[in-house]
Amino acid sequence: MSQGDNIHHQLVVKNIVDNAVIATTTWTLSSSDALKNYAYYYRYDIRGNCIEKKLPGADPQYLVYDHADRLILSQDALQRAKDRWIFFKYDIQGRMVMRGSVVLTSSHASLIESYKDVTIVESYTGNTGNFGYSQTYIAGTYTPYEVIFYDNYTYLSNSNIIPGTRSGYCKQHSEVQ
């Protein structure tokens, strides 16, 4: 692990690991089964955001943040095998407006570099695509899991957004009995 790349590392080893492994001054996660199976490993960027997290017995989880230090992409080992990431999009007030999965073939390092100086802000436009929100950032083949609307009910007039006609859902508060 290199310390000259402006990345900070933290390693936590459970007591079960052999003292010989702990006493070693240099190591890599790929060369030690004890570290793979028993160590908690965290890697931080220069702003203090955790960009990689490895828990005992699991492959690392990758995390990407925008310029406002908000989590915008997350990927575990199963998602990595399919180039899939979980994305998070925010509005101008920093509230999450959309969460879902997206296919991105870029590497973790290039995504960190691409978004470190960009503040992800999507706005409600009322368009019929993308559930009424702009599609300015994190473009790709995506599947939304959650879309959140704030401040008013103008989205109800967009028939492409309303998920269904179940009784009692998608009604303004004053209409609910």
29-41 residue pLDDT tens: 555 677 778 888 8
User: Tell me: the pLDDT tens digits for 5-55?
Assistant: 556 665 565 555 455 455 555 555 555 677 778 888 899 999 999 999 999
pLDDT of 70 = 96
DSSP single-letter state for residue 133: B
The total of other beta-carbon atoms located within 10 Å of residue 41's CB is 19
Q: How many helices (H) and strands (E) does the chain have?
A: 4, 8
Residues of the chain with pLDDT under 50: 1-4, 17, 20, 165-167, 169, 175-177
> Which of the 8 DSSP states describes residue 124?
B
- 150, amino acid identity: Y
Residue 167 zone, left/alpha/beta (φ > 0; ψ -120 to 50; rest): beta
Q: Go through 59-73 and write b for each residue having 16 or more CB atoms within 10 A of its CB, e for each that does not.
A: ebbbbbbbeeeebbb
State the DSSP code for 60.
Answer: P
Helices marked H in the chain — which ranges? 19-23, 33-38, 77-80, 108-115
Burial of 164 (0-12, 13-18, 19+ CB in 10 A): exposed
CB atoms within 10 A of CB 42: 16
Q: How far apart are the C-alpha atoms of 131 and 93, rounded to whole Å?
A: 19
Q: What is the pTM of this model?
A: 0.75
Going from N- to C-terminal start, the domains of the chain cover 1-58, 59-177
